[in-house]
Structures are given as C-alpha cells and as structure tokens.
Amino acid sequence: MRRLATIVAICAWGAAAAAAAPVASGAVREYWVAAVPTTWNMIPNGRDAITGTTYDTAQSVFPTVVYRRYTRGWKHPLFNNPTQGGNQDLIPGPLLQARTGDRYVIHFKNRDSAFRRPHSMHFHGVHYKPSSDGAYVPGFSGGDADVKYGKTWTYRLTAGRDSRGVWPYHDHSPSMDDSIAGGMYGMLSILGRHEAAPDREFVVVFAEMGAFQTIDGRAFVGNTPVFTSKVGQLVQWDVMAMGSEHHTFHVHGHRWIAPDGTPRDTQTVGPAESFRIRWREEDPGTWLYHCHVEQHMMQGMIGTYHVTRA
Ligand SMILES: [Cu+2]
C-alpha cells in the first residue's frame, strides 16, 4: 500500500512538472487539500547526531493538524512535496506550483476529527477577492475563514506578474495560533511565464515547535530533510519562516547572487517572509545547511545537502 502510494505520488509530481511547462495562455492549477489530524514526531531517530544528546517520544511527539494533498475529490492522499525536495509528508503542506498568469483553484476540506477546530487557508503573494482571503475577521468573514469540521471551501487565486517567487500560506481561522504552532503552513511556488523550471526544488520552512527549532517540522541532522542534487543541475531553495522568530538561512560551500548583485551565503528571513535562491550546482560533497542563529541551530535547525558528481 505504501509502495502504491509512493508511485501515485511520483506520477502526480511528474504530471505537475509537465503542467509547469510554459504555455501560451494562463493555465488553471487545481489542487485538493484537507486539514487532517496526525501524531507528529519532530525527532524520529531520537537523537541529536552532533552532540549525541538523546530525546524520548514524550519530548518529541505531539498530536496536531496538518495540510495534506489529495487526488480529485479528496479520494486518495498524495505526498505534499516532491521526492527529496524536503520533508515529503504532512509538514509542510503541499507545494502549490504555478506560473505567472495562471489561476489557482484550491479545494479545501476540514477533516480535523481530532480537535474539531475551524481551519482555513490564507495565501500570500497572489491576487484574490475577499471571499478567498481565508482570514477571520469577526463580523465580516464568510465561510472562507472559518471552515468548520466536515465543511469545504474553494479558494480562487491568480498568479499575477508580481507573484513570481515563493510565498507562504497558512491557517488564518480562529484556531490559527494552535495551527501554526502545530505545522499548518506551506508554500506557493510561482515561476515566471517563460522561466526555466529548476532541476531540483527544495522546501525549507523554519519554525519553532515547542522546545525545538525545526526545519519542515523536524529537528537535528538525521531527522531534518536531506536534500540531494547532481553537479550541473539548476537547484532552487524555497525558504520561509513561520512563528515569531527571525532566522538566518545558510548553506555551506555555496554562494548566490542577491538582487543587488552581490554574492551572499546567508539571508535572514522573518515571520511569513519568504525567498527563493538558485544556483547551477558545481560543488560535490556532503554539506550542511542551517539557521545561523546559533541557539536555533543547537535546538535542531540544521540538516545536510548531498551533491554527487554528474
Ligand atoms: Cu533560526
């Protein structure tokens, strides 16, 4: 069953990649997403590989609600992220890909049978009417912002010329505080109309979770995502932060060109800020990537990036 699910997920990602190819006029990107309960483990292997400190499940496991991608009609679950593109399952939510000029149609269902809280999806960086805002304003909001257990809502968004890049989405319902602390967030990834798609796309979400600092909901090397690429590939890092803290994205042995034309190897990112970084890979080896706020790194915000020769 697990193998079947993997194949279905891979096929879906193949289709998504093909759909992301440039077309003459804007395409409709239709996604099916649900809020689902899960029991999440931030440290599946129970240890910090760098210091040797061990953690038991009483410290690392908690019940929560997350976004999960589905096939049409919420029939079958899919992986949220591409293979080796980040933590594939549950946290963060589905990587919602499009190109400028496209329209998103995102069908959302609240399946939070554990807490039966209201939920929603609120998107940054795109154009929409108030009925697709997903943010709860007492006395003003409609069904978009307060989707009750068992109910659905369809969000309609447009990726404008000014939407190129990566953007957060997150729960903005009355239960948003609990939801965001529990991992209910994800990213939109929007390419330019005729822009080359990257060969590898990595999803990095910095967020505090209880006593730990996590990347894609995991803490410490061996638990956080292992990103992989080959020399010669165009790699793209989609980075964002959620919660209440600032983080410093850093990858060892690599540099990129900032918008002002200067080379960099760090970039700060605050709550709900996001950016993407690209380079043509030329440095084989196993490298660290991490938040360079030292305390955050020691509380789990660090992982490895593996580059093989072509
Ligand atoms: Cu940090």
2-191 maps to CATH 2.60.40.420: yes
246: CA distance to ligand 1 center in Å? 6
pLDDT for 140: 85
How far does the centroid of ligand 1 lie from the alpha carbon of residue 221, in Å?
A: 15
pTM comes to 0.90
- Cα 291 to ligand 1 centroid, rounded to whole Å: 5
Q: Of 109, 89, 105, 84, which is closest to residue 198 (Cα–Cα)? A: 84
- Taking the centre of ligand 1 as the mean of its atom positions, its distance from the CA of residue 147, in whole angstroms, is 32
Locate CATH 2.60.40.420 in the chain. 2-191, 200-308
Q: What's the CA-to-centroid distance between 7 and ligand 1, angstroms?
A: 35
Angle at 200 between CA 27 and CA 293, to 5 degrees: 115
CATH number for region 200-308: 2.60.40.420
Which residues in 131-152 are b (16+ Cβ under 10 Å) and which e?
ebbbbbeeeebeebbbbebeee
Output the CA 257–ligand 1 centroid distance in Å: 22
Residues of the chain scoring pLDDT < 50: 1-23
Ligand 1 centroid – CA 177 distance (Å)? 19
Q: What backbone torsions phi and psi does residue 88 show, to the nearest 5 degrees?
A: -70, -30
pLDDT of residue 259: 86
CA of residue 33 to ligand 1 center, whole Å: 28
Q: Ligand 1 centre and the CA of 172: distance in Å?
A: 23
Ligand 1 centre to CA of 261 (Å) is 25
- Cα 245 to middle of ligand 1, angstroms: 7
247 CA from centroid of ligand 1 (Å): 4
Tell me what pLDDT residue 84 has.
72
Q: How many helices (H) and strands (E) does the chain have?
A: 4, 19
Cis peptide before 92 (omega within 30 of 0): yes
Residue 48 pLDDT: 96
Cα 153 to middle of ligand 1, angstroms = 34
> What is the Å distance from ligand 1's center to 59 Cα?
20
Largest CA distance in the chain: 58
Question: Tokens 């020399």 — which residue?
Answer: 231
